[in-house]
């Protein structure tokens, strides 16, 4: 890519992935997955977002697809949802991990770890003056479109941009 700040944004994206992976995790178990989307693959996810938005009448998917197209890169951070085997937990709504597994529930530690990792990553982007926005829509499209490994059940995309005005605000 021949954008003047592309290399800076790519470096920050790589550091965001490092920040996510090194963020604290329940029982010290890493089930996170990170990936940087760019170029044609990023456009394919944006196309899927737009298609989902139209087929399911979800306008924010269409709006977010436009932001993805106007961004340089998208950092995806997702997770597997396997239980951690924490005794006397039940945060998932079930008595224990065995019952949670039987019901197909998502481990609350996995969900919490994902949130902490995303927070660490966007903090790093912000500290480096890279505009960003956390997007459920990108994560959902990347998962249902099989752009990430099968075991990744939850994820978010974080598009990155450098411009005179933050493209992620005043969105319509």
In a domain, 170, yes or no: no
Q: Residue 156, class by beta-carbon neighbours within 10 Å (0-12 exposed, 13-18 middle, 19+ buried)?
A: buried
CATH number of domain containing 57 = 3.40.109.10
Question: Are 168 and 125 a contacting pair, CB within 8 Å?
Answer: no
Both ends of the chain: CA-CA distance in Å? 28
How do residues 60-80 score in pLDDT, each as one tens digit?
999 999 999 999 999 999 999
pTM for this model (two decimals):
0.95
Helical segments of the chain, H only? 6-22, 39-55, 59-70, 97-103, 108-127, 136-144
In a domain, 31, yes or no: yes
Token readout for 140 is 């959902």
In the chain, the number of structural domains is 1
pLDDT value at position 171?
Answer: 61
pLDDT value at position 120?
Answer: 98
Structural domain boundaries enclosing 108: 6-159
pLDDT value at position 169?
Answer: 85
In a domain, 45, yes or no: yes
Q: Which ranges of the chain have pLDDT less than 70? A: 1-2, 171-172
For residues 119 and 109, give the distance between their C-alpha atoms in angstroms, rounded to a whole number.
15
pLDDT value at position 3?
Answer: 77
pLDDT value at position 81?
Answer: 96
For residues 72 and 60, give the distance between their C-alpha atoms in angstroms, rounded to a whole number.
20
In a domain, 84, yes or no: yes
In a domain, 38, yes or no: yes
In a domain, 142, yes or no: yes
pLDDT value at position 168?
Answer: 92
pLDDT value at position 131?
Answer: 97
């Amino acid at each position: 890519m021949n954008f003047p700040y592309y290399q800076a944004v790519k470096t920050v994206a790589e550091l965001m992935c490092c920040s996510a992976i090194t963020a604290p995790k329940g029982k010290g178990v890493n089930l996170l997955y990170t990936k940087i989307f760019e170029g044609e693959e990023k456009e394919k996810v944006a196309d899927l977002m737009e298609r989902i938005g139209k087929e399911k009448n979800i306008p924010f998917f269409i709006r977010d697809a436009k932001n993805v197209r106007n961004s340089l890169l998208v950092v995806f951070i997702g997770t597997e949802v396997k239980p951690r085997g924490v005794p006397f937990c039940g945060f998932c709504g079930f008595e224990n991990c065995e019952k949670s597994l039987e019901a197909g529930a998502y481990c609350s530690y996995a969900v919490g770890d994902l949130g902490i990792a995303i927070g660490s990553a966007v903090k790093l982007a912000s500290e480096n003056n890279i505009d960003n926005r956390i997007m459920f829509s990108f994560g959902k499209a990347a998962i249902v479109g099989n752009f990430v490994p099968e075991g990744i059940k939850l994820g978010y995309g974080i598009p990155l941009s450098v411009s005179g005005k933050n493209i992620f605000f005043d969105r319509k």
